[in-house]
Amino acid sequence: MTQLVTTKDTLRTARAAMTGSVAVVMTMGALHEGHLALVARARELADRVILTDFVNPLQFGDPKDLETYPRDVPADVAMVEGIVDLVFAPSVEEMYPVLPPAVGVSSGRLGTLFEGASRPGHFDGVVTVVTKLLSLTRPDVAVFGRKDAQQLAIIQALVRDLELPVRIDPVEIAREETGLARSSRNVRLSEQGRRDALALSRAIRDVEQAAPSTTGVIAALERARDAGSAGVAWDYALAVDPVTFEEIATGYRGQALVMLAAVVDGVRLLDAAVVEATRP
């Protein structure tokens, strides 16, 4: 049986009563197969699984995006019934009695690049809520998807730099049959938008085919950006050194983190991949 908890006090009590190892899966709800893949991984890693379901206002710059973000806690609970031990779905007032909170966590320089440049303050909001949720759930391991590649890197840095006692376990991107990366935002896409959105997974495939040639990877990304489809407004399509987050140039040799962001049908979509770029 899955327990639904909406207050921090009840969560603390329930967590204290849990025996064995604990994994946490943090979500903003509107659960889909991608989240279930995270839950399945969490089940493999720990005796107990907590899923958090909270649309975090701190990480939204655009009030319309926050307002229209899909929310359906009862459907989320039904989807994970029996496969997670506890769902924590607090209200905004419960999580943030004072909003914005007097103190938050900084995502540092990494938080200002790429996704952070387009959404100022976004990653500070993410690391603040992730820190609060880690503190409340006290997990041994937390699983995060690789689609939000920059978020994953920032959370890994948060845990490393603040010595947080948790292991981060990255999980591969779950895709629809068409190749579209699964996202809660996909429900906002029209039929045409779903077709246009395939530009992202197509670009990932092209880049993967071009690897391990560094020039091939860079050229595939250029082609994606230039392909110009009326329905796809690219924000960025680039490959970076996964450690420094510097954009790679033709002389680069090593692993490259490919990150894509585009607005399709008014919906911001991300995709990502790690490829070898070890040859000219």
52: phi then psi, degrees, rounded to nearest 5: -100, 140
Q: Is 41 annotated as a binding residue?
A: no
For ligand PAF, give the closer residue by CB, 217 or 260.
260
Distance CA 200, CA 274 (A): 15
Does position 275 interact with ligand PAF (CB under 6 A)? The reply is no
User: Other C-beta atoms within 10 Å of 152: how many?
Assistant: 18
Residues 153-192 that bind ligand PAF (CB under 6 A): none
The least CB distance from residue 258 to ligand PAF, in Å, is 19
Distance CA 97, CA 147 (A): 31
Q: Is 185 annotated as a binding residue?
A: yes
The least CB distance from residue 221 to ligand PAF, in Å, is 24
35 is catalytic: yes
Does position 128 interact with ligand PAF (CB under 6 A)? The reply is no
Reading the block at residue 41, the tokens are: 């991984």
- Active-site annotation holder among 15, 35, 119, 188: 35
Place of tokens 């790679």: 248
Length of the chain equals 280
Pick one of 5, 126, 207, 261: the residue that binds ligand PAF (CB under 6 A): 126
Q: Is 183 annotated as a binding residue?
A: yes
For ligand PAF, give the closer residue by CB, 129 or 262.
129
Residue 241 identity (one-letter amino acid): D
Reading the block at residue 155, the tokens are: 């959370």
Q: Is 239 annotated as a binding residue?
A: no
User: Count residues contacting ligand PAF (CB under 6 A)?
Assistant: 10
Q: Residue 19's Cα: distance from chain center in Å?
A: 28
For ligand PAF, give the closer residue by CB, 114 or 252.
114
Distance CA 138, CA 14 (A): 12
Q: Is 59 annotated as a binding residue?
A: yes
The least CB distance from residue 152 to ligand PAF, in Å, is 9
SS (H, E, C) 186-245: HHHCCHHHHHHHHHHHHHHHHHHHHCCEHHHHHHHHHHHHHCCCCCEEEEEEEEECCCCC
Residues 6-65 that bind ligand PAF (CB under 6 A): 26-28, 56, 59
Q: Is 107 annotated as a binding residue?
A: no
Annotated active-site positions, please? 35
* Binding site, annotated residues for beta-alanine: 59
> Given the rule CB under 6 A, which residues bind ligand PAF?
26-28, 56, 59, 126, 129-130, 148, 151
* Binding site, annotated residues for ATP: 28-35, 145-148, 174, 182-185
